[in-house]
Structure 1
Amino acid sequence: MFKHLSKLSHHAAWRRQLELLLDSTGEGIYGIDLKGRCVFINKAGAEMLGYSADEVLGRNMHYLMHHSYANNDLMPVCQCQIFRAFQENKGCRVDNEVLWRRDGSCFHAEYASYPIFEEQAVVGAVVTFTDITERVEAQNIRAAAQVELERRVVERTAQLQKAHDRMRRLSAHLTTVREEERTRIAREMHDDLGAKLTAFDLELKALSYRCANDEKLTLRIESMLDLAQGAMESLRRILSDLRPGVLDHLGLWAAVEHLLGEFSQRTNVVSSLDIAPALEHVRLSKATETALYRILQEALNNVSKHSGANKVEVRVHTEGRAVVFQVKDNGRGMAVRTFNAGFGLMGIEERAWDIGARCSIDSILGQGVCIKLRLPEVLAL
């Protein structure tokens, strides 16, 4: 049928049937012989290129409509996928090139080329093409919108991160200011109120010695001495909560041991402290020791108020140059979804962040809570 393809296309009856068939579609369709010359083209294809069908017939289609890339660089025939398709006896489909009109403008096109066989030999190719400019423009608009959206997301994320960092710095500053204020108040209470209570106690003891013969007065003085001793004990406890002197003078580990002892005495919860021998004489920075002490205070407060535990273990060990500080109880535990419900746990996480520690809070209902802090690169090489 295609042995004399170029001549056959000019046969009036055959050409009329072919035109009726091809003009019924909105896609551009044309056929070429082995030399790339057009042997037929439908009306839609010719109009898409800005020609009439008769003006296209017999012309080399590569040089007519597919001669250059979108950037106007010339496309050699050997790189033309339409020609390569039938030369390699296979079809192809392309949607990322342009075709050129009569007026020198180009349009984004999607085309497919398939070889025409006659007696198992390729005698030409049939090509279908469609103007996809609107689709490409829509894709470009979507891509631009996506880029703009991503830019705004990055910008907004940076703004939120900046605000978050500012809030974290503010939190750290407030924590430092609060500790300094606690230290100042504790010092003033110790120097002023502590001295007065001590003097009051001494005066009562002297008065008790002088009134030893008056039994009633002696009993009242002894009652006042008991009140004075109670006031001094309360003062010592308040001073310890505000700023424990043992933390400043003897270091974190002595302060932790003292705190656990007071906690066990007050709550009847058995406590234990396990410190790696390599850390017994190690002093951390003042801010780090203060933060770990306050974290332990908050953890013990949660144990006494919420856990129902009868045992608390504090373990401090090393992992390379890192120090791991762990507080574990055997209480009722809590569900994961409640981790962020309390300000106490949030405070623990914020204090850990302030000193550059990684904080994890793990719990299983009925199996207690484990708070672990890992301080990286703390120990010297």
Structure 2
Amino acid sequence: MKKLIPNELQGITFLSLVLFLISSYLWSQQAWLAQIKIPNALTIHTGLETATIIIFTSVFIVCWNAFGNLRKRSSLILAVTFLSASTFGFFHAISFQGMPGFLTAVDMHKSLSFWLLSRFLISFTLLGLVLQNRDIDVSDKISTISICLGLFFTLAVTTIIFNYPEVLPTTYLKDSGQTNFKIQCEIILVATNSVTALLFYRQIISTDNLSIEGHLKIKRSLLFFAAVMMAISEIYFSLYRFPDEIFVAIGHGFQLFAALAIYRGMVGINIHAPYSSLIQSTQDLQLAADELRIHKERLTGVIETAMDGILTINDQHEIILANPAAANIFGYAVNDLMGASIDIVIPMRHRHVHSAHVNQFGERGKTKRKMGGSFDDYYVTGLHANGSEFPIEASISSLIENDKRFFTVIFRDISERKAAKEKMAQYHSELTQLSSALQSIREEERKHIARELHDDLGQLLAALRMDLSLLQRDQTMTEKSRLTVSSIDQLLLTSITTLRRIATDLRPRALDEGGLFFALQTLQKEFSQRHGVHCDLIADEEQLILDDERSTAIFRIIQESLTNVARHAKANHVDIHFDRTHDALTFAIQDDGRGIEEGAMNKTRSFGLVGMRERVKAMRGEFQVHSEVGKGTQIQICIPLNSENANSPMSTK
């Protein structure tokens, strides 16, 4: 969508067009106008030039002084330019003031040289202003050096022109007036100002009219008008032959329009800026006050409608803020809490300690702290209006305002949560006891089934094999029958082996006959033979003299661990290491397999690890699993051995 042209720019464009049409009409009448001579031309030219010098000096003052030590490169360049232009303009006026009647061609050359230098400075500076895209900060030292250098070169050039005017090409001849060099310079100025005006116009319609160059505010529409007026003025300054022609006055008139536009576009807008800023600041202050009021109302609404209780106390421990939720939790009305001591909501036995804790919290310089957040530590206890006590979860924060410290507590009643937690703990304890009982029952059933299989079914199979052996000795048996009996004997032998393996898996006889150490040795050998994984048992027989319940649990843990290694680890080596002290038995199962991936240990189907963890928990031990993908897994278990449990099995042995 095309950007609309601002109304102010439309007005200035219209004014520029009207003045251009007037200028064009005067241009068409230049033959007639050339005959008009201005009486007292020297006085008129001096007055107009003086007005222009004053305006340019004002521009220099604003660009240099209005912002203290805060300057940008653009404002510094403008300051140096308009200082030099004002200086050259002054010497331009001085030059023709010293030659009544404009009779000296050399003086006119000097005057016009100063004139051209002044106009070239202004024209090319305005062009640079519209072309620049980036600005930088300039220090006060650099600014001072720059203005001094600018003034020095200006005075140096002035001295050269006064003493050696022939350094510059001739600009004026006594009989023929302006030279071709002077007219060509005017043509360059016309072209430069026309390009500047066009660029200002395009910049306004594509961005904004009012912009800021460094710390200097620029109104581009007025600078566009100034560039147009300067272009028109230079046209008329190129037409005259003698200084008393009316073309000079017309050119000075358009030049004065340009100077006023520059003044208004740079100086006027910055002079009025503080007042505009003051008005804007007042409006901003009102908006801030309205926002603060809205914020206060919103905050009050949040506090009033919060479901958690909120209390604020001063350094005297007096309640200065209480929301409805806090009053409801403690069974009071809000007005009853306001101004009261915080002690009315704290049990008597905790009041002294609570006050000391609050004071220490303020002295440490912390701004916030959580209180009573642990399920196992309800040290924050509230006192209801009816005298009953209840647990509270709370957080406290402190704030210093006007050298006074205030404490704010946000809390909630967790009586239901505490009751639910205690009930869950009871359920968990019962489940643990049930799990332990089920383990014991299962071991007893396994022991019974293993005994039945080994003693009864095993004896029957052995007797049956003995009978087959006797039958094989019968000489009257045919060869075919003998082969059949031999096959039956082989099947019986396989059945007996399978029966022994099943019975051993259910309840190894080595555990009952030789103890835990002998059972683990048997398990180690069978594991290595069955799965081809080298397994080392590092333990002493004296370390593993335990009661039957613990021996069975430890055997099952190691059995399950080796089963997991065989199924999942793809390991080549397993170490089982035991270490016993007077108070505890510690053992670890370490493999060099592929490890357990992150999150796999917490899967709901990881019954092997769950079973091991439950067995360890039943013995009040600690169970830890350390695994790294590609580097194996280590299971560490520590089982406490109190005097009662530790000595009992030794005595029985």
Normalised by the size of structure 2, how large is the TM-score? 0.37
Residue 218 (structure 1) aligns with? 482
**In 1, Cα distance between the equivalents of 2:461 and 2:541?**
41
SS class of match (1:339): helix
Distance 1:356 1:300, change over 3 A: same
Distance 1:190 1:96, change over 3 A: closer
The alpha carbon displacement at 1:368 in A equals 1.2
Distance 1:185 1:95, change over 3 A: same
- Equivalent positions of 1:11-50 (< 5 A) are none
* Partner of residue 460 from structure 2, selected from 196, 212, 232: 196
* Partner of residue 376 from structure 1, selected from 630, 640, 645: 640
Q: Is the 8 A contact 2:517 2:541 kept in 1?
A: no
Q: Is the helix fraction higher in 1 or 2?
A: 2
**In 2, Cα distance between the equivalents of 1:351 and 1:228?**
38
Distance 1:171 1:212, change over 3 A: farther
* Partner of residue 495 from structure 2, selected from 186, 210, 231: 231
* Partner of residue 546 from structure 2, selected from 281, 284, 295: 284
- Equivalent positions of 1:166-185 (< 5 A) are 166-185=430-449
2:535 equivalent to 1:312: no
Paired letter, 1:362: H
**In 1, Cα distance between the equivalents of 2:579 and 2:538?**
8
Deviations for 1:90-115, whole angstroms, at most 9, x for unmatched residues?
xxx76645xxxxxxxxxx669xxxxx
Aligned length in residues: 256
Distance 1:136 1:238, change over 3 A: farther
Residue 282 (structure 2) aligns with? none
Q: Is the 8 A contact 1:287 1:355 kept in 2?
A: no
* Partner of residue 247 from structure 1, selected from 480, 492, 511: 511
2:477 equivalent to 1:206: no
Q: Is the 8 A contact 1:95 1:109 kept in 2?
A: no
* Partner of residue 162 from structure 1, selected from 426, 431, 434: 426
Paired letter, 2:455: D
2:619 equivalent to 1:358: no
Paired letter, 2:449: I
Residue 6 (structure 1) aligns with? none
**In 1, Cα distance between the equivalents of 2:417 and 2:447?**
44
**In 2, Cα distance between the equivalents of 1:313 and 1:295?**
14
Deviations for 1:90-146, whole angstroms, at most 9, x for unmatched residues?
xxx76645xxxxxxxxxx669xxxxxxxxxxxxxxxxxxxxx9487499969x7697
Q: Is the strand fraction higher in 1 or 2?
A: 1
Q: Is the 8 A contact 1:257 1:273 kept in 2?
A: yes
Q: Is the 8 A contact 1:308 1:332 kept in 2?
A: yes
Residue 586 (structure 2) aligns with? 324
**In 2, Cα distance between the equivalents of 1:212 and 1:332?**
62
Residue 529 (structure 2) aligns with? 265
**In 2, Cα distance between the equivalents of 1:314 and 1:219?**
47
What is the aligned-residue identity percentage?
A: 33
Consecutive aligned runs of 4 or more in structure 1 exceeding 6 Å deviation:
137-141, 143-146
**In 1, Cα distance between the equivalents of 2:315 and 2:391?**
25
- Equivalent positions of 1:47-196 (< 5 A) are 96-97=317-318, 133=335, 136=338, 147=392, 149-196=413-460
2:602 equivalent to 1:340: yes
Distance 1:199 1:155, change over 3 A: same
**In 2, Cα distance between the equivalents of 1:276 and 1:172?**
28
Paired letter, 1:180: E
Distance 1:249 1:277, change over 3 A: closer
SS class of match (2:576): strand
The alpha carbon displacement at 1:274 in A equals 0.6
Paired letter, 1:289: S
Distance 1:200 1:278, change over 3 A: closer
Distance 1:276 1:216, change over 3 A: same
User: RMSD of aligned C-alpha atoms?
Assistant: 2.9
- Equivalent positions of 1:296-311 (< 5 A) are 296-311=558-573
Paired letter, 1:192: D
Q: Is the 8 A contact 1:274 1:315 kept in 2?
A: yes
**In 2, Cα distance between the equivalents of 1:146 and 1:196?**
68
SS class of match (1:366): coil
The alpha carbon displacement at 1:192 in A equals 2.0
**In 2, Cα distance between the equivalents of 1:236 and 1:196?**
13
- Which has the larger displacement, 213-222 or 299-308? 213-222
Structure 1 unaligned runs (5+)?
1-92, 98-107, 111-131
Distance 1:219 1:256, change over 3 A: same
**In 2, Cα distance between the equivalents of 1:332 and 1:308?**
7
Normalised by the size of structure 1, how large is the TM-score? 0.61
Distance 1:339 1:206, change over 3 A: same
**In 2, Cα distance between the equivalents of 1:96 and 1:362?**
51
Paired letter, 2:586: V
Structure 2 unaligned runs (5+)?
1-313, 322-333, 347-381, 385-389, 393-411
The alpha carbon displacement at 1:377 in A equals 2.6
SS class of match (2:602): coil
The alpha carbon displacement at 1:320 in A equals 4.4
Distance 1:137 1:179, change over 3 A: farther
Q: Is the 8 A contact 1:349 1:359 kept in 2?
A: yes
